[in-house]
Structure 1
């Protein structure tokens, strides 16, 4: 029976491996002591993150517990079940939908030969894949090293030595994961100086734009809400846009002529997500500070997403953390062509109740729906300019 089981497991692994090629293969795990619906929604978003990182998702496991196990997150029985499942499916890694402590990673890694990753590492890996500019690469490497420094264990046999390649270990910082703590700290200090220098350069560019006295509009919102698509539609540009999380890392600025014959600068910014790693927020702070000079924030929302309200709240929380919540906002309910009228109206009511902010329903892929948004932007810009004159 054991020989037969091993043969069947080997057959399944070889077949699955051939189908997925060289892509990383993972089992996603969510452990919660909350409501089942919340856990299911969180897992759905977590799977989107994994797919965006080019991971083959073999299985998803949700465990509800009265109390999260402080040692291994999962209970012993569930952990054994997970390990057997991973062997049968031929998984390369297990990814947890939470941030793991160094002790938890060590305990989980001692129980299996697979990579053990958490949610922040998955997000950092997506950023590493997307970073193309010098500034983006520096910021991602800084975030990677800051995250890994307290988890770094010297020695080839450490649990973290498995992170040296692939998901969780690629990107500008991948060759430094096995260096000692002193060298990592030195590298972090060097990168922080580079980020500061790049921030000063960005500041100079902002000053030059300000001298032109053109109002500045920034598109903000949850990742994959359609900000880049909207920028392309409004300005007839060809900024890279893809239906993947964090497709945009580097801010892009374009000129836009409004219906009132007023020119403005419109910025596309990096998308937000709930539980964004603190190291990533810190590293990208210089980039996100560009939003601080905005006269208006257009908060782009994917109205077709069942988690739209939660996503709005997550974006507002990050804006508050960055001290950007005082800038006037206009909410653009995107993808209105696939969301029902009742859903649009419900989101509109909740936004008005919570934020007292005007909402405009649009579809970024249908330019005829964008004129009302452009008109509202023009009204807000004119209001800001009149206020400036009064002052």
Structure 2
């Protein structure tokens, strides 16, 4: 496979925007050598799981993996993290593998990154930069493009003196702006900071539009749910199945960056709006958490959550816990949730599945691929939807036509009858209407009425 590779070359004097030359060349697919640092006390199984995830990330990025190494780490070295001895050992392995870059699973401080690049004389990137590259490649909508651009600019700001970088710099309008005594690095930093400020302003406008859309849904006649889960758990596949739609599905990490909302029918009548969300991942770079906050908050503002767990993942419990931690950071603690353990046809660990079921009664197991457990899942989803929009029977006096109109405009009318004592209506209504209609309830408990 031949791909276009952009290499940033810098002169020996200093690294500045004017002195950099972008050279685009045809070369074989980038060859990556992977490194995982295992801290003292960590189980081999956990280290191997982190290596597996890094391999998936790098493959998704489009690189060819030519080797990997797990390095036990007793003490960290401030200059290189791994010490001069391990640097020399790794340098030999990298040269033998003819790697074009070294990818560390651990986030690298800018100083360490520069030192390792000088030692290896090839690009050294960390997991954070890999994720940023994947997001950049997959961003499609205006909001996703802005979010990724912001995250990359914030990541690159402390790394302007690197020899190899993916930062795309633009010099527009900078002629004559260099102040007396201002260094080139300061100019570079100012350009990036101005770009960050500009991206934040543009994102605020887009987020404002999303807030309006979200508010209309939250005050609408249809209950809402958000599908969440670790990346590649099968969220988009589930949405496609239950909505009979064609949301992008790929067996790759982060196939979905933008929330997609679809309307689905419920088994016993009524409808539900379901939003697909970006997949979670352990130690998601804070720049991406901040940048994708409006996207991730689809879960916060939904009436309830559908949490999809991947039974085929070798570290299933860790993935589950990571998702729960991200949800907690978004303020979703206590929000109604149904857990669906997907890919049971390729189950990896019976104990992990059993533990989640024991800790969370009502957990549903199945397989989107095999269409197993979907009927049971939809019944659970329906119950949560009805709790969010409970069903009541009302008797409204003929003089209160405004209340009848309010129910019609904001709820789902199931039956209506005009009798001598008033208007009898059976309807599902959003919770915010209850306080206005309590005096007129003739039947209903806030749960599903049989």
Tell me if both proteins adopt one fold, taking TM over 0.5 as the criterion.
yes
Q: Are 1:92 and 2:100 matched, yes or no?
A: yes
1:359 to 352, 359, 363: 363
Q: Deviations over 1:123-153 (max 9, x none)?
A: 1111011101111110000000111112222
Q: Are 1:291 and 2:293 matched, yes or no?
A: no
Q: 2:322, 2:203 → 1: CA distance?
A: 26
2:33 to 17, 27, 34: 27
Q: Are 1:259 and 2:267 matched, yes or no?
A: yes
Aligned length: 354
Q: Deviations over 1:143-165 (max 9, x none)?
A: 00111112222xxxxxx2311xx
Q: Larger deviation: 205-214 or 57-66?
A: 205-214
Name the CA shift for 1:229/1:350 in 2 (closer, same or farther; >3 Å): closer
Deviation at 1:357, TM superposition (A): 5.3
Q: Are 1:378 and 2:382 matched, yes or no?
A: yes
Name the CA shift for 1:90/1:346 in 2 (closer, same or farther; >3 Å): closer
Contact 2:309/2:316, CA 8 A, preserved across alignment:
yes
Deviation at 1:290, TM superposition (A): 2.3
Q: What's the TM-score once normalised by structure 2's chain length? A: 0.75
Deviation at 1:348, TM superposition (A): 4.0
1:1-391 alignment to 2 at 5 Å? 22-33=28-39, 34-153=42-161, 160-163=162-165, 169=166, 174-176=168-170, 180-339=188-347, 343=350, 346-350=352-356, 352-353=358-359, 356=360, 358-386=362-390, 388=431
Q: 1:278, 1:25 → 2: CA distance?
A: 27
Deviation at 1:306, TM superposition (A): 2.0
Matched residue SS, 1:241: coil
Is the radius of gyration larger for structure 1 or structure 2? 2
Q: 1:323, 1:176 → 2: CA distance?
A: 38
Matched residue SS, 1:161: coil
Q: 1:21, 1:262 → 2: CA distance?
A: 56
* Residue of structure 1 equivalent to 2:5: none
Q: 1:176, 1:86 → 2: CA distance?
A: 33
Q: 1:267, 1:350 → 2: CA distance?
A: 24
Q: 2:344, 2:191 → 1: CA distance?
A: 51
Q: What's the TM-score once normalised by structure 1's chain length? A: 0.86
Deviation at 1:245, TM superposition (A): 0.3
Q: Deviations over 1:300-347 (max 9, x none)?
A: 01012121110010011111111122321111100012227x71x742
Q: Per residue, is there more strand in 1 or in 2?
A: 2
Cα RMSD for the two superposed structures:
2.1
Q: 2:27, 2:274 → 1: CA distance?
A: 41
Q: Per residue, is there more helix in 1 or in 2?
A: 1
Deviation at 1:211, TM superposition (A): 4.2
Q: Which runs of 5+ in 2 are unaligned?
A: 1-25, 172-184, 391-429, 436-450
Contact 1:196/1:286, CA 8 A, preserved across alignment:
no
Structure scoring higher RCO (CA < 8 A, sep ≥ 6) equals 1
Contact 2:225/2:302, CA 8 A, preserved across alignment:
yes
Q: Deviations over 1:20-49 (max 9, x none)?
A: 963211100011223322211111111111
